[in-house]
Amino acid sequence: EAGVTQFPSHSVIEKGQTVTLRCDPISGHDNLYWYRRVMGKEIKFLLHFVKESKQDESGMPNNRFLAERTGGTYSTLKVQPAELEDSGVYFCASSQEFSASSGANVLTFGAGSRLTVL
């Protein structure tokens, strides 16, 4: 099966510009997550979709970030306007429904979108 696909792999923009990152999850995966790794630090959770609904957006840093998942398929993460501190690698991950028997749902991650804000 195809994995999680993210576009673009690398984006370089100037401060104040807008960037939209896209994630195509594995087909049939209802759960979609966005994470971010800034400056070699820990990977931090941004938000979680179940189908088209935002289940948990507690990790979104501020209102310059807007995530959507229209139709419950692919998702976009828009940063507007971008600031220097937004530079980092944005990871998307997807999973099927939580498995009570395994005790944890296994996430499949994309390769990430590297964002550089100058």
Partner 1 sequence: GNSVTQMEGPVTLSEEAFLTINCTYTATGYPSLFWYVQYPGEGLQLLLKATKADDKGSNKGFEATYRKETTSFHLEKGSVQVSDSAVYFCALKGTGRRALTFGSGTRLQVQP
Of 92, 31, 34, nearest in space to 58 by CA? 34
The least distance separating partner 1 from the CB of residue 81, rounded to whole angstroms, comes to 27
The least distance separating partner 1 from the CB of residue 18, rounded to whole angstroms, comes to 25
The least distance separating partner 1 from the CB of residue 11, rounded to whole angstroms, comes to 16
Report the residue number, 22 or 44, with the smaller CB distance to partner 1.
Answer: 44
Report the residue number, 39 or 71, with the smaller CB distance to partner 1.
Answer: 39
Report the residue number, 56 or 85, with the smaller CB distance to partner 1.
Answer: 56
The least distance separating partner 1 from the CB of residue 52, rounded to whole angstroms, comes to 16
- 56: three-class secondary structure by DSSP: strand
Q: Which residues bind to partner 1, rule: CB under 8 A?
A: 3-4, 31, 33, 35, 37, 40-45, 48, 55-56, 59, 91, 93, 98, 102-112
Q: What is the DSSP letter of 13?
A: E
CA 44/CA 29 separation, integer angstroms: 21
Q: Token pair 């759960």 is at which residue?
A: 31
Report the residue number, 17 or 105, with the smaller CB distance to partner 1.
Answer: 105
CA 10/CA 112 separation, integer angstroms: 9
CA distances from 62 to 31, 46, 82 (A): 22, 10, 11
